[in-house]
Structure 1
């Protein structure tokens, strides 16, 4: 009997998982492109891992895990922003130190409490199939906020990405734009925690946007393509999880990364063919 590939999408919790993954893809597309263009990839990775202490503390206190993740990621971002002003070492050194420090605190908190024994996998890798209606509303609210902030700040973000000094000359207030970008990055990482966990949230933030930058150049088009890649990864990842019995969050993130490498290979082949096309014509 042939397998009906669409059968999982008739299940309510799978429907919520797909909708949640698509909402997260939209948020990540709006922020992830700027993270790559601005060279903030290492910071994004550090923040995605640095939110573990906030998640652990929130769980111990019985509070909101997403709020704990947001606070922890924001502390990380503010710490990096403060350390970048020093001239004694580069910004990447400060990021590395805070990354290791925050992650160490998180691991200590998790290992100290026996109550985390069954929850650790969900903390680290997420549980997209456990998304509730309230989580979807939270993701939708995050998407609305990120979109409302991103639209008027598009020009300052663009100027800040290519020439901060010129942005200052044009009166675009690059320092304020930088803080706004850190806030948006914090929100994105925090809301992605429940979908793909602390360790995989960075993959959904970067992989679709990196893949989109391979095939598009204009920022709005790149964001649209990144959303398409993220949504595709969500659908395929959920299907793989359903039929192969794998972790859904990890399957989604792995699909996003695999899609990036597939696009990179396709672009490379296309460029090689374009290089050799004139030579073939010359010989004929």
Structure 2
């Protein structure tokens, strides 16, 4: 029993556990919209783009959250703009813009020296780098994301399933897309310290996919995905202490284990196209 409870005696681990739980829940919530829109790759791409801003903001002495956040948002809007105005697929636009940003971030790391962020921690997450400031920022982003979903639920729902009809019906799809990209960028930025650049995409996709296999109702999928993400964050962080591996790694592996178990139980029967979801909220 002492072995099981031993991690909770360390303040740094308790902070990490709280942040990992919130990060998992946040990614699970936002991941539903990203997954159903067929934009799973953008989570992976934006995390790489934000890494470029992460490096650049340190070089020019700008606050990390402000600099990297604006960089990520600009990258997301650039991807949308290139995709809509040119004969270039979204995957190609993401690949070019975000990979270039990531490469720039790696190149800039040589200027950090001892004062710069840990390369491994930025890539794979680290419980040791979590501060109380990180906790409050993540809590604020989680609250903001929840308010955005609550206040714009109908618009987000309509734009997710039929953006063309939504646009004709008076929904400002461009505004909704920009708002979603803002929330996604903020979510990735806030969870970067615990999950890492290379693994955050999985925390966006896995909870939503598992929830999709468990329900055909959109509103229920939002709730389930948030709970699954938070649970994977909690369990993954706890396992990271005992296994002595990066927190992001164990969180993703926990999610993968949950996905495998649900797939075996359900046979993936409910993992269908987004358009076949029951979108009623009652």
After superposition, residues 133-152 of structure 1 pair within 5 angstroms as 133-152=132-151
* Count of residues in correspondence between the two structures: 270
Q: Using the alignment, how far apart are the partners of 2:235 and 2:90 within structure 1?
A: 37
Change (3 A) 1:83 1:14: same
Change (3 A) 1:32 1:90: same
Most deviating of 6-15 and 28-37: 6-15
2:28/2:230 contact within 8 Å kept: no
Following TM superposition, by how much is the alpha carbon of 1:240 offset from its aligned partner in structure 2, in angstroms? Answer: 1.9
TM-score by length of 1: 0.87
Q: Using the alignment, how far apart are the partners of 1:12 and 1:240 within structure 2?
A: 16
The one-character-per-residue Cα deviations of 1:79-100 (angstroms, maximum 9, x if unpaired) are 1021022243223222221122
Instruction: Name the residue aligned to 2:278.
Output: none
**Which structure ranks higher in relative contact order (CA pairs < 8 Å, sequence separation ≥ 6)?**
2
Instruction: Name the residue aligned to 2:280.
Output: none
The one-character-per-residue Cα deviations of 1:99-119 (angstroms, maximum 9, x if unpaired) are 221122112112455447871
The one-character-per-residue Cα deviations of 1:30-82 (angstroms, maximum 9, x if unpaired) are 21100001111111211011111111122334443333331221121011021
TM-score by length of 2: 0.87
Q: Using the alignment, how far apart are the partners of 2:269 and 2:29 within structure 1?
A: 28
Could you tell me which runs of 5 or more consecutive residues in structure 2 were left unpaired when the two chains were aligned. 271-282
**Structure ID, larger Rg:** 1
Change (3 A) 1:270 1:197: closer
Most deviating of 63-72 and 132-141: 63-72
Q: Using the alignment, how far apart are the partners of 1:54 and 1:106 within structure 2?
A: 7
The one-character-per-residue Cα deviations of 1:183-203 (angstroms, maximum 9, x if unpaired) are 111111111111212112212
Following TM superposition, by how much is the alpha carbon of 1:6 offset from its aligned partner in structure 2, in angstroms? Answer: 2.8
Following TM superposition, by how much is the alpha carbon of 1:234 offset from its aligned partner in structure 2, in angstroms? Answer: 2.1
2:21/2:232 contact within 8 Å kept: no
Change (3 A) 1:231 1:9: farther
Instruction: Name the residue aligned to 2:18.
Output: 19
Could you tell me which runs of 5 or more consecutive residues in structure 1 were left unpaired when the two chains were aligned. 272-284
Change (3 A) 1:110 1:33: same
Q: Using the alignment, how far apart are the partners of 1:67 and 1:117 within structure 2?
A: 17
Say what the alpha-carbon RMSD is for the aligned residues.
2.2
Q: Using the alignment, how far apart are the partners of 2:254 and 2:183 within structure 1?
A: 24
Following TM superposition, by how much is the alpha carbon of 1:182 offset from its aligned partner in structure 2, in angstroms? Answer: 1.0
Following TM superposition, by how much is the alpha carbon of 1:19 offset from its aligned partner in structure 2, in angstroms? Answer: 1.0
2:24/2:230 contact within 8 Å kept: yes
Q: Using the alignment, how far apart are the partners of 2:111 and 2:18 within structure 1?
A: 35
Instruction: Name the residue aligned to 1:276.
Output: none
Following TM superposition, by how much is the alpha carbon of 1:213 offset from its aligned partner in structure 2, in angstroms? Answer: 1.2
The one-character-per-residue Cα deviations of 1:95-144 (angstroms, maximum 9, x if unpaired) are 22112211221121124554478711111112234322221111111111
Q: Using the alignment, how far apart are the partners of 2:269 and 2:20 within structure 1?
A: 31
Q: Using the alignment, how far apart are the partners of 1:269 and 1:208 within structure 2?
A: 14
1:110/1:116 contact within 8 Å kept: no
1:67/1:190 contact within 8 Å kept: no
Matched, 1:250 2:246: no
Q: Using the alignment, how far apart are the partners of 1:117 and 1:179 within structure 2?
A: 31
1:51/1:68 contact within 8 Å kept: no
